[in-house]
A and B are shown apart, each in its own frame.
Chain A
Amino acid sequence: MATALTSRDEPKTAEYAGDEVSALVLDPGFSSVRAGFAGEDTPKSIVPSFYASTSSGRYFGDHVIDVPREDVEIKNPINRDGIVEDWDAAEALWKHSFAHKLTGVRPNKALTEWLNDPKSVPDLQKAMADAEDTERCLEEHPLFMTEPAWNTAKNREKCAEIALESWAAPAFYLGRTGVMGAFAAGRPTALVLDFGATQVSVTPVHDGMILKKGVMRSNIGGNYMSSQVRNLLAANEPDRITITPHYLVQSKQPVDAGQPANFVPRKFPEAFTAPQPSFRRYQEEKVILEFKETVLQAWTNPNTPFRGQGEVMAREQQYAHPFEFPDGYNQPFSTEGFRLVESMFDGQCYYPPPPGSEEGALYPAPEPQGTIPGLVKASLSQVDVDIRPFLLGNVVITGSGSLIRGLPERIQLELSKMYPSTRVRIQASGMAVERKFGSWIGGSIVASLGTFHQMWISKKEYEEHGASIVEKRCK
């Protein structure tokens, strides 16, 4: 180890590749991995974080993982907190996200040159060297990665290790999603509400720095909402609605609303080992996503709360969104769409799970402090009282989950009611891309600046100072 490094030490000019290289920006989430070159407007490669696992290996990518293979299992390297659990799979998945569409796959000499010709097998040492070379897929690209504010120090170091050691990237940087969301909205000071798949999080950012004590999160994100949809469908009257995913439907006949589905199920050969339950669940999730996009709507009436009066009002006004399931079953949904969203604000609107289901254990009703108003309140209580008005005046809403109709308006109403003496201002980009890929876009912009080279952790610095440099440089 060399001398102690302070955060003010900058890399020597010769240690990073300079302006002309194109950095790669990688924004890995629970639902998808976004990858692309810095300087571009949107990520060119978007790959589901779910992957298929069979006895013959792992499969990555949309369509590829949708194939009902024998005994296939669908997995995700990221856990329900949004933190990587299976590093082996995460490394392979992330690599896939850029190698296949962006940087190109490095030829595996073992496969191309000598695998099928035993006579040409080189000595073991050379074979090892070749194998290692195949792994060094980022030799020409500095890597900018994003991470949630609650990422652990150990995980941050692991990311650096993968980038700089396994992939041999010349330089590396980790940016926090909350800060990037604030900056992309033009705000060095902001309260960032990020609606992700696993979490809804509230991150206070002041003068470009995260106030760590004020970071609050709750698992009422997109996955929770999907679980609520399952509970809703299971409790449907008169009959529970079963989701038959597309892959199980051979053909269907149109039926009237509320009538039983008339479809021919897909037949698999007799010897076929059916996919594991996780495969079906993943396919059901895709239908649920469509359902959420169609039906969900936030209750934005300022004078009438939803629970009780509002629900009656919604029913009377006959807001209705028809939805057709893959097997042809269809019915309109009206107050349900409101109530589902309402359960993020008010735990009493929670749809309880049907008896015997494990949804209740996975996604219980949110406690008052785990609802959106609860999270904001808890977050603000942890920050200096003088800063609170500035945070409430700059509430930035981001994340794919925030694209629910009426959600920003609803949050405005809710927070104005909670803090009547403070001016609450909500900023939610009108462009869906900016809300979906906010962190990636932020990373893409800073990493493409010529001056950003001062921020990178170079491979040489990493070798000199060890993994702890990540904590010092990427605050």
Chain B
Amino acid sequence: MPVRANNFAQPVSGLSVNPECVSTFNELKLGRGGPKYIIYKISDDQKEIVVDEIGKEPDYDAFREKLISKKEKSGKDRPSYAIYDVEFELEGGEGKRSKIAFITYINQDNTGVKSRMVYASSRETLKNSLNGIAMNWQANDPGELEWADLLKEASKGKGTI
């Protein structure tokens, strides 16, 4: 049963979330050999949000490169939603922590207004169907996907944006 769009945001697009989006996310939450990141996209028929690809390696740079090189058929940049498990060390050797970040990447420059609109207006639908997101990250150009910034946001102990 697809998760129905809720009415938190306005105007939401009414897109549904493919159940695989949630099950893959739950695998990531469990850890232990599961995915380290998930990239989501809107299906070509623009009816639902689906898993685009998953990565088992926690290599942030490789993940970032993937995000910024996604293309639409028209050749323009394609926006994405993504889940990335941000791991960091606590100060004073107090051990490792991790935070599951929900990233919305919509490049403002090389995208069509239609894909910006559809991705921006459908974000809440996906976000609200994934339970356990610890931080939110909205990036509108490649420069806003720097690891240092994500780390800073994750480690300051504040949850959502």
Given contacts A209-B9, A445-B113, contact A186 B14 (CB under 8 A): no
CB contacts (< 8 Å) of A185 on chain B: these are 108, 116, 120, 140
Q: Are B117 and A189 in contact (CB under 8 A)?
A: no
Q: Are B8 and A454 in contact (CB under 8 A)?
A: no
Known: A186-B107, A434-B113, A454-B4. 7 other contacts (CB 8 A): A186-B119, A189-B161, A208-B9, A209-B9, A446-B13, A446-B121, A451-B5
**Proximity bits, B86-100, A CB within 8 Å = 1, else 0:** 000000000000000
CB contacts (< 8 Å) of A474 on chain B: these are 10-11
**Is A270 close to B, CB under 8 A?**
no
**Is B138 close to A, CB under 8 A?**
yes
B117's closest neighbor in chain A, by CB?
A445
Residues of A bordering B, CB below 8 Å: 7-8, 10, 173, 175-176, 179-180, 182-189, 207-210, 386-387, 390, 394, 427, 429, 434, 441-443, 445-446, 449-455, 473-475
In the bound complex, what is the Cα–Cα distance between A450 and B42 (angstroms)? 13
B149's closest neighbor in chain A, by CB?
A423
Interface size for B (C-beta < 8 A) is 39
Q: Are B121 and A183 in contact (CB under 8 A)?
A: yes
CB contacts (< 8 Å) of B114 on chain A: these are 445
**Proximity bits, B109-149, A CB within 8 Å = 1, else 0:** 00101101111110110010000000010101000000000
**Is B79 close to A, CB under 8 A?**
yes
In the bound complex, what is the Cα–Cα distance between A10 and B6 (angstroms)? 10
Residues of B bordering A, CB below 8 Å: 4-16, 45-48, 79, 104, 106-108, 111, 113-114, 116-121, 123-124, 127, 136, 138, 140, 158, 161
Q: Are A7 and B10 in contact (CB under 8 A)?
A: no
CB contacts (< 8 Å) of A8 on chain B: these are 6-7
Q: Are B7 and A184 in contact (CB under 8 A)?
A: no
Q: Max chain A CB contacts within 10 Å: which of B12, B124, B127? A: B12
In the bound complex, what is the Cα–Cα distance between A188 and B121 (angstroms)? 7
Q: Max chain A CB contacts within 10 Å: which of B15, B107, B161? A: B161
CB contacts (< 8 Å) of B117 on chain A: these are 183-184, 186, 441-442, 445-446
CB contacts (< 8 Å) of B123 on chain A: these are 188, 207-208
Q: Are A441 and B113 in contact (CB under 8 A)?
A: yes
CB contacts (< 8 Å) of B12 on chain A: these are 208, 455
Q: Are B106 and A186 in contact (CB under 8 A)?
A: yes
Pick the 9 closest A-B CB pairs, nearest first: A208-B9, A186-B106, A186-B116, A451-B14, A183-B120, A454-B14, A445-B117, A175-B11, A7-B7
Give the secondary structure class of B's interface.
loop
Q: Max chain A CB contacts within 10 Å: which of B14, B16, B104? A: B14
In the bound complex, what is the Cα–Cα distance between A182 and B13 (angstroms)? 14
In the bound complex, what is the Cα–Cα distance between A348 and B28 (angstroms)? 58
Q: Max chain A CB contacts within 10 Å: which of B10, B108, B161? A: B10
Q: Are A449 and B15 in contact (CB under 8 A)?
A: yes
Residue among B8, B13, B140 making CB contact with A207, cutoff 8 Å: B8
In the bound complex, what is the Cα–Cα distance between A180 and B117 (angstroms)? 8
CB contacts (< 8 Å) of A179 on chain B: these are 9-11
In the bound complex, what is the Cα–Cα distance between A336 and B14 (angstroms)? 49
Q: Are B138 and A209 in contact (CB under 8 A)?
A: no
Given contacts A427-B108, A442-B117, A446-B11, contact A454 B5 (CB under 8 A): yes
CB contacts (< 8 Å) of A207 on chain B: these are 8-9, 123-124, 127, 136
Residue among B4, B124, B158 making CB contact with A208, cutoff 8 Å: B124
Q: Are A390 and B140 in contact (CB under 8 A)?
A: no
In the bound complex, what is the Cα–Cα distance between A183 and B104 (angstroms)? 12
In the bound complex, what is the Cα–Cα distance between A18 and B56 (angstroms)? 41
7 contacts between A and B (CB under 8 A): A176-B10, A207-B9, A207-B123, A451-B13, A451-B47, A454-B14, A474-B10
In the bound complex, what is the Cα–Cα distance between A141 and B14 (angstroms)? 19
CB contacts (< 8 Å) of B107 on chain A: these are 186
Q: Are B138 and A187 in contact (CB under 8 A)?
A: yes
In the bound complex, what is the Cα–Cα distance between A390 and B111 (angstroms)? 21
Q: Are A175 and B10 in contact (CB under 8 A)?
A: yes
A205's closest neighbor in chain B, by CB?
B9
CB contacts (< 8 Å) of A446 on chain B: these are 11, 13, 117-118, 121
In the bound complex, what is the Cα–Cα distance between A434 and B111 (angstroms)? 13
CB contacts (< 8 Å) of A7 on chain B: these are 7
Q: Are A188 and B15 in contact (CB under 8 A)?
A: no
CB distance from B92 to the nearest CB of A (A): 25
In the bound complex, what is the Cα–Cα distance between A427 and B14 (angstroms)? 26
In the bound complex, what is the Cα–Cα distance between A449 and B16 (angstroms)? 12
B128's closest neighbor in chain A, by CB?
A207
B115's closest neighbor in chain A, by CB?
A186
In the bound complex, what is the Cα–Cα distance between A111 and B158 (angstroms)? 68
Q: Are A208 and B121 in contact (CB under 8 A)?
A: yes
Residue among B8, B11, B13 making CB contact with A180, cutoff 8 Å: B11
A450's closest neighbor in chain B, by CB?
B47
CB distance from A135 to the nearest CB of B (A): 27
CB distance from B123 to the nearest CB of A (A): 5
In the bound complex, what is the Cα–Cα distance between A429 and B117 (angstroms)? 13
Residue among A10, A182, A443, A449 making CB contact with B118, cutoff 8 Å: A449
CB contacts (< 8 Å) of B6 on chain A: these are 8
CB contacts (< 8 Å) of B4 on chain A: these are 10, 454
Q: Are A208 and B10 in contact (CB under 8 A)?
A: yes
B120's closest neighbor in chain A, by CB?
A183
A210's closest neighbor in chain B, by CB?
B10
Residue among A189, A209, A449 making CB contact with B8, cutoff 8 Å: A209
